[in-house]
Structure 1
Amino acid sequence: MRNVKKALTAALLASTVMVAPVFAAGTLTISSPQDPGNWDPIDTFLVNWASVATNIFDGLTYRGPDLELVPGLATGWDELDDGQRIRFTLREDVVFHNGEPFNAEAVRFTFERLLGEQGAAGPQQSNYVAISEVEVIDDYTVDFHLSEPDPVLLTKLAGYGAMIVPPQYIAEHGEEHFDNNPVGTGPFSFVSYSPREEIRLEAFADHWDGAPELDNVVYRFITEPSTAVAELQAGRVDIVIPPTIPVGMIPTIEAHEGISVVTVPSPTVQALRFNTQSGITADENVRKAIIYAIDRQAIIESILGGEAEPITSFQSPLAFGYDPDMELVPYDPDKAMALLAEAGIGAGATLQIDVRGNDSTFNEVAQAVSAYLSVVGINATIQPYETNVLINDIIPEGRTGEMFQQAWGGWTFDYDNTAYLMYHTGERWNPYDSDPELDALLNGQRSITDRAEREAMLQEIARYTADRALEVPLYNVNAIYGVSDRVENFEAAPDSRLRLTRVSVGE
């Protein structure tokens, strides 16, 4: 079937007058499906922020597409006092884009800001609460004092809230200005930002890791997949980053000369999470019935074209803590109806599924889920929201329907960072549930230094949440990129965080 679609697509393209490519020398243009709306590292959790800001900012550590953790702004680190203190040795002769020097004071400022009142207003602070104090030893040495163990801290320092920011610049221009005019130490510096349209960067020749090969990078915010692919075909976009491209459009890209599809396994997982407080999904048996009612393998084959794998818990096989021995809940509509009957739910029961309106692939998935639920007597309506509204307003404030889409990048590749934020009482992504036993498991695994013992506890957490049916774990999807052949030295990142220092473009 895929070959037939490809042949038909090729024939259609051959009969169509194509727009001549528009290439800019030294400029790479990237299509991103979402404008984060704020470039301050402590104010975001979005993968599409990281895909841009990985080039503006640096952290003390860095993790590239190979998933190996290496020095960033810190050249090395040592664990002291039985792990209660970490000493970082910092790079010398590093400057921010505004000429301000990078030093130990910048590191202290960054984390005091993150862990203080400013950080409390954003979504990143809870990732770094193990840090009780950052002590300046000298201009290029800092000690992180920890109030509790955090086995994922060094990885967290490679992303999001831990990106090092310039104290003098923020003091001079203010927080609101920094939101839309970011300054970091990364390989590209900020030029301009047009909300919902684009952000422009230029090469920072004084970057500590060498000047980029590119002169400029333009990220265009294109929410509609067909528009992004059309721009790639026309030569006005060089790379389309995940999660833009629906599986159904892969043949369209493959059939077009001069562009190609690059896919890599990713940590990104999709689930339909449950409102456990109200509606029919407050009943655990109803939640379990819904999971039995959905044929996830059929959805993967028919809608996702095999570019995904079913998951047993809300994490990918790439995550530390994944249990390969956990069994998938099978598709069993008879079992589903029996559980519904046990819960006293008769035919005609209703529920609402909240989704990201611009996610065309998941909208198809939601339609399929609705059809499966109708078979067992549940009438599901689908409520689309603009993505930023759903994730910044509807979910955190607990105003969803009975089920809601949750996409998660799992960027630390450690189940802790997913599970803690999803299931611990009071966390942003857990507006409905409070389970003291689960809280104890989540807190307990963070204090364990033995890797095997901690992995076993993370696997126990996964089984516990599955037993309580806190979500429908759907699938782990590949990262799908569309790439122009003129892009050189491109390496697809599993988590969409492309570092563009060594990328170049041909004519």
Structure 2
Amino acid sequence: MKKTTLFKACTLAVAMAAASASHAGSLTIASPQDPGSWDPIDTFLVNWASVGTNIFDGLTYRGPDLELVPGLATSWEELDDGKRIRFTLREGVVFHNGEPFDAEAVKFTFDRLLGDEGARGPQRSNYTAISHVTVVDDTTVDFFLYQPDPVLLTKLAAYGAMIVPPGYIEEHGEEYFDTHPVGTGPFKVVEYTPRSDVKLEAFAEHWGGAPKLDSVTYRFISEPSTAVAELQAGRVDIVLPPTVPIGMIDSINAHPNAEVVSVASPTVEALRFNTQSGITADERVRQAIIMAVDRQAIVDSILAGEGSVIASFQGEQSFGFDASLEPYPFDPQQAQALLTEAGVEPGTELQIDIRGNDATFAEVAQVVAAYLQGVGLNASIQPYETNVLLNDIIPAGRTGAMFQQKWGGWTFDFDNTAYLMYHSGERWNPYDSDATLDEMLDAQRSITDRAERETLLQFVARYTKERALEMPLYSLNALYGVGSRVENFEPAPDNRIRLTDVDVTE
């Protein structure tokens, strides 16, 4: 080869490499929690969804704009008065391992979710309207329902409904799939180190087109101050909610290479009660505890305008929200009277369980304890590692008198919160059983008239408020810490950020 030709070839190669580098790169994200399993049916965690949304696809998809659009299904049709839904599937889709996506994969996914494997996880109760799934042909499936579910299409866009590869799971087994997940999403998992990080690479064969990024690393950083320091140092590009402490917003925004991006979200915070034993088994005591705390003062002093007081365990974006429902008033005098009526002695102790890595809520809990001290209750705060609190303490009914519950409400429908929090036997309801509530919660799932269903959900909210099943605190904006080199990032209200179009400047 002539020198000039060789020189031109080398120059062209360098130019192509430079062009490639300018349109690709690596992104590092700080996530506060390692979910411990990447299997969609094992999870209930928002921090799973932040990663899982990029590994897996559902039949439907809902992005940051909250519009429901086709995913692995290109269309669907309701038949038999809503008791059967026929899905037409996208052709030419493959899983990360090369296995083809087809109707059998959809049937396998839901047979698994609704079967023994799903029964061991927290997701199945979201999909109990489904009786079974039948394959019509390679690109068509029918979902047969026990009764119409007005939220089902949204539920098919995330979490337990993510489509998984039958051949891969049958070959490698369930336990292997927990830590070596395979989906059809825009990124594939290449390495997972528990409690440290998970590394993803772009999946060029994705049906929606190859991502702009080459790779993404999610680092599990539970300490908020560490995550923020890494962002400011440029070693992390995005810090996910709820990591960013309210008190650090100004310092992040003052940094030349970082900012806080805030978006209204369905996330709500509450202190739920042990309604089964101890002083909080008495409804009067629960009402007293709620009235002893000035929640508006907490929002004003700690949240810096990034939240608002709620009367029930949902925010105003939730279907079923009732703007006319007033929170319990801040009334220490009435609280004291109720405690006296219930026979609670001054100096009685109670325990508040919280997530140990949630700096903002740790401040909230301290303020709540101070207010309770004002009515004669001595509250101690017990922090737990988040996975321990969520996987062990709460479901097993081993909490103190009060325990922190943060809920994403990602369907933007009160059903997703209310059914899981209040229905007898549910994972997040270890203490209470109320036949009236069960009846209402079951009934609303089969109502197709939107106005009628909304009225019933609003009644559920009013009923749970009257029973004082929790101290509703506030709805909270989703706060993202974002580095200056990140481009095309769209914050998701429910933390389910899709990274296909995100890019970085190198």
Alignment of 1:73-472 (within 5 A): 73-472=72-471
3-state SS of paired residue (2:361): helix
Distance 1:198 1:502 in 2: 22
CA displacement at 1:329 relative to structure 2: 1.3
How far does the alpha carbon of each residue in 1:167-209 deviate from its partner, in whole angstroms, 9 at most, with x for none?
Answer: 0000111111100000000000111001111000000000000
Contact 2:149 2:448 (C-alpha < 8 Å) held by counterparts: no
3-state SS of paired residue (2:298): helix
Please tell me the residue identity of whatever aligns with 1:276. T
- Normalized against structure 2, the TM-score is what? 0.95
CA displacement at 1:66 relative to structure 2: 0.5
1:37 aligns with 2:28: no
Distance 1:412 1:232 in 2: 30
- Residue matched to 2:45: 46
Moved over 4 A (4+): none
How far does the alpha carbon of each residue in 1:397-426 deviate from its partner, in whole angstroms, 9 at most, with x for none?
Answer: 111111000000001100001000000011
Distance 1:81 1:304 in 2: 49
Distance 1:446 1:129 in 2: 10
Please tell me the residue identity of whatever aligns with 1:440. E
3-state SS of paired residue (1:49): helix
3-state SS of paired residue (2:113): helix
Alignment of 1:5-84 (within 5 A): 26-84=25-83
CA displacement at 1:312 relative to structure 2: 0.5
Please tell me the residue identity of whatever aligns with 2:310. I
3-state SS of paired residue (2:55): coil
CA displacement at 1:25 relative to structure 2: 6.3
- Residue matched to 2:5: none
Distance 1:40 1:333 in 2: 47
Contact 2:293 2:330 (C-alpha < 8 Å) held by counterparts: yes
- Residue matched to 2:8: none
- Residue matched to 1:475: 474
Please tell me the residue identity of whatever aligns with 2:392. D
How far does the alpha carbon of each residue in 1:116-162 deviate from its partner, in whole angstroms, 9 at most, with x for none?
Answer: 11111110011111111100000000000001221111000001000
- Residue matched to 1:492: 491
CA displacement at 1:305 relative to structure 2: 1.2
Contact 2:24 2:503 (C-alpha < 8 Å) held by counterparts: no
- Residue matched to 1:3: none
3-state SS of paired residue (1:294): coil
3-state SS of paired residue (1:51): helix
3-state SS of paired residue (1:55): helix
Distance 1:348 1:222 in 2: 38
Distance 2:173 2:117 in 1: 12
CA displacement at 1:24 relative to structure 2: 12
For structure 2, list consecutive stretches of 5 or more residues without a partner in the other structure. Answer: 1-21
Distance 2:385 2:272 in 1: 18
Distance 1:373 1:148 in 2: 46
- Normalized against structure 1, the TM-score is what? 0.95
Distance 2:228 2:427 in 1: 34
Distance 2:313 2:158 in 1: 21
How far does the alpha carbon of each residue in 1:207-243 deviate from its partner, in whole angstroms, 9 at most, with x for none?
Answer: 0000000000000000111111111111110000100
3-state SS of paired residue (1:298): helix
Contact 2:423 2:433 (C-alpha < 8 Å) held by counterparts: yes
How far does the alpha carbon of each residue in 1:78-105 deviate from its partner, in whole angstroms, 9 at most, with x for none?
Answer: 0000001000000000000000000000
Distance 2:24 2:257 in 1: 17
Contact 2:82 2:147 (C-alpha < 8 Å) held by counterparts: no
Distance 2:380 2:67 in 1: 43
CA displacement at 1:330 relative to structure 2: 1.3
Contact 2:43 2:159 (C-alpha < 8 Å) held by counterparts: yes
Please tell me the residue identity of whatever aligns with 1:170. I
For structure 1, list consecutive stretches of 5 or more residues without a partner in the other structure. Answer: 1-22
- Residue matched to 1:11: none
How far does the alpha carbon of each residue in 1:38-75 deviate from its partner, in whole angstroms, 9 at most, with x for none?
Answer: 00000010000000010000000000000111000000
3-state SS of paired residue (1:229): helix
CA displacement at 1:350 relative to structure 2: 1.3
Distance 1:402 1:237 in 2: 38
Please tell me the residue identity of whatever aligns with 1:345. V
How far does the alpha carbon of each residue in 1:436-464 deviate from its partner, in whole angstroms, 9 at most, with x for none?
Answer: 11111111111111101100100000000
3-state SS of paired residue (1:407): strand
Please tell me the residue identity of whatever aligns with 1:261. V
CA displacement at 1:301 relative to structure 2: 1.2
Contact 2:292 2:332 (C-alpha < 8 Å) held by counterparts: yes
Distance 2:501 2:198 in 1: 20
3-state SS of paired residue (2:464): helix
Distance 2:450 2:287 in 1: 32
Distance 1:188 1:311 in 2: 37
CA displacement at 1:346 relative to structure 2: 2.2
